[in-house]
Chain A
C-alpha cells in the first residue's frame, strides 16, 4: 500500500541551527513528492515539490529537500531556522499523474530562542 512516514512527531531546534525533517515513502515507481507547512490555525501551504530531475529542490523561505530513490526518502532541510518556522510540517506523495495525495502524520517543529 502507498504510504508516507514521518518518524519524528516533534523536533526542537535552537534558532539559527540547521534543520532536517525526515520523510520516507512507499510507492511503486517514483511518486510526486511534496512538503507542506501548517502554521497555527491555518490551512496547509506548499513549501516545495519534486516531480523529476534534479534531486535537490528549492522551496520558499530557504527550505530545500532532497529526493533519494535508493533510500525512498525526501528529507526537508534548512540551513538556519528562525522562530517563525515553528509549525507543523507534512510530507506528502501522489502517484505520477494522479490527483489523490497521501500525507504523512506530520512533524511539529519548535524553534527555541
Chain B
C-alpha cells in the first residue's frame, strides 16, 4: 500500500498560468478530500468527493478553482489564472470511514 500519492510534489507557476494538481487515493477508499494549508490560514477544507460524486465544495473559492474525480483512482484540483495568494501546500486525503489518510502534499508557488 503506497498510501495517498500526490503529484507533483512541487510546482512553480507564473501569475496567470494554470495549475493542475493530482491525487491518487488509497485503493478501496471511497472518499477523497482536498485541503489548502498556509502559515496564515492554517489548514482549510476545500472540497470532498464520495464514491466519485462531489459532496461538499463549500471551501472552494468560487472563481478559478475546480475539482474533479473522473474515476476512483484519481482526483484533480485545477486552479486557473493562478495568483500569488494561491501559493500554499495543497493536501489530499482519502478515507473509507472517518479516519483520513493524507498524502505528502503539493507545494504550489505562484511567482
Contact = CB atoms under 8 A, between A and B. Distances in A.
B interface: dominant SS: strand
B43 interface: yes
Size band of the interface chain B makes with A: 20 to 34
Contacts of B102: 36, 43-45
A102 B33 CA distance: 12
Name the residue among B4, B93, B100 with the largest chain A CB count within 10 angstroms.
Answer: B100
B43 A43 contact: no
A100 B99 contact: no
B70 interface: no
B56 A100 contact: yes
A97 to B, nearest CB: 8
B42 interface: yes
Nearest to B4: A43
A94 interface: yes
A100 B42 CA distance: 17
B25 interface: no
Name the residue among A49, A98, A99, A103 with the largest chain B CB count within 10 angstroms.
Answer: A99
B74 interface: no
Contact of A103 (B43, B50, B55, B101): B43
Size band of the interface chain A makes with B: 20 to 34
Contacts of B55: 99
Interface string A55-70: 0000000000000000
A34 interface: yes
B95 interface: yes
Given A44-B91, A99-B95, A106 B100 contact: no
Interface of B: 4, 31, 33, 42-43, 45, 48, 50, 55-56, 91, 93, 95, 97-105
